[in-house]
Amino acid sequence: MRKSSLKILYLTFLLILSPLSLAEGYADSLKIGFGSCVDEAKPQPIWEAVEKENLNDFFFVGDNVYGDLDSGELSNMGPAYEKQEENFPNWLKNLKPLAIWDDHDYGLNDGGSEYTLKKEAQKLFLDFWNIDIKDERHKREGIYFSESRQIKNKKILLIGLDTRYFRSPLEGEKRNYQSTSDISKTILGKEQWQWLERTFEEEADIVILVSSIQILATNHGFEKWSNFPHEKERLLSLIRQFQKPVVLVSGDRHKAGIYKQENLYELTSSSLNKPLPKWLVAVWDETDPLLLGKMHYDMNYGLINIDSRSISIDLKDEKGNVLESVEFDI
């Protein structure tokens, strides 16, 4: 038998024995879904449309249950997680979704570092999302993390931030928070900043950076990175130094849109099943100098699709219809 025939037989044998090992890392594209603000007590019809996307990953961007109480007690968080477990379709559970938290699954509305039950809340969060006991999140404070994905010759780094555990108190009144001039105040805290800077030093071709609160938005009175301008500039400076494509993702707002500053895009996707009341939408049409297109107030989810040549960002409604879309070359 010729050597070429033996080689073909050998490769065929390897393929039969281990199809995944040969294919791993050579996918043509990566498709990730995003969403936030999903109330365990309300119907969740949006999953039917999301299932049809044939995602590689789904990333929950915070407020993944509404288990918080005004008192800050966590007595409702466990039952909220149990109810949400029943709501999630099997295909979504099989994806082993990624997640960070926001205030309503942290335990205190608009809460930050002052929350006294944050360690207990972290344990509930990690248990619900089945985070491996060997994962660093079980050993350190905060639920920030990173994971990598590979398509052909490109490495994509997924970074989930914790904007709650270490965050300094906000200034101003609720719904009218103000920018602080106190540069000692922080969103991420010392340890998470050091981790993030090290993470950006890793070999990667593309970064998807997920924050529960909006990063680029400037002109509303709710929680946002602009309330801590020195922290926002530090983050944007880190992104500029990376000199490779970075896409931002956020939630929280119960409204959705795509923002752009210079060559940096942010997808805000909110909410999965808890839209703002119609009467409020009628009198409050929010915009922003950095907003592309318009804000959307119905139930929605976000998509990022990456191939070897381009990145596309889509915002879709609960039926899977495109609301906003951008694409750029890499």
What number of other Cβ atoms are within 10 A of residue 202's Cβ? 12
- pLDDT score, position 282: 78
Is 255 within 8 Å of 298 (Cβ atoms)?
no
Q: List, in sequence order, every residue forming a beta bridge with 325; answer none if it has no partner.
A: 314
User: What is the full DSSP assignment across 37-69?
Assistant: ---TTS--THHHHHHTT--SEEEE-S--S----
180-to-144, 162, 165, 248 alpha-carbon distances in Å: 24, 20, 19, 23
- pLDDT score, position 283: 78
User: What is the full DSSP assignment across 168-208?
Assistant: PPPEEETTEEE----TT--SSHHHHHHHHHHHHTS--SEEE
Is 295 within 8 Å of 264 (Cβ atoms)?
no
The b/e string for 55-64 (b: 16+ C-beta within 10 A; e otherwise) is: bbbbbbbbbb
- pLDDT score, position 266: 98
CA distance 103 to 74: 12
CA distance 99 to 59: 6
Rg of the chain over all Cα atoms, to the nearest angstrom: 21
Q: Quick one: which of 205, 174, 211 has its CA closest to 307?
A: 205
Task: State the alpha helices, DSSP H only, in 182-327.
Answer: 189-200, 229-242, 278-283
Topology of domain 23-329, per CATH? Purple Acid Phosphatase; chain A, domain 2 (3.60.21)
Helix or strand run (H / E) with residue 90? helix 90-94
Helix or strand run (H / E) with residue 124? helix 118-128
Burial class (CB in 10 A: 0-12, 13-18, 19+), 203: exposed
Distant-in-sequence, close-in-space partners of 278: CB < 8 Å, separation ≥ 6: none
- pLDDT score, position 223: 98
- pLDDT score, position 281: 77
- Which tokens belong to 227? 């309330």
- pLDDT score, position 19: 37
CA distance 270 to 251: 5
Q: Compute mean pLDDT per 10 residues along the chain, 330 residues long, and list them.
A: 45 39 63 98 98 98 98 98 98 97 98 98 98 98 98 96 98 96 98 98 97 97 98 98 97 97 97 89 86 95 96 98 97
- pLDDT score, position 15: 39
138-to-21, 66, 81, 120, 134 alpha-carbon distances in Å: 29, 23, 18, 12, 7
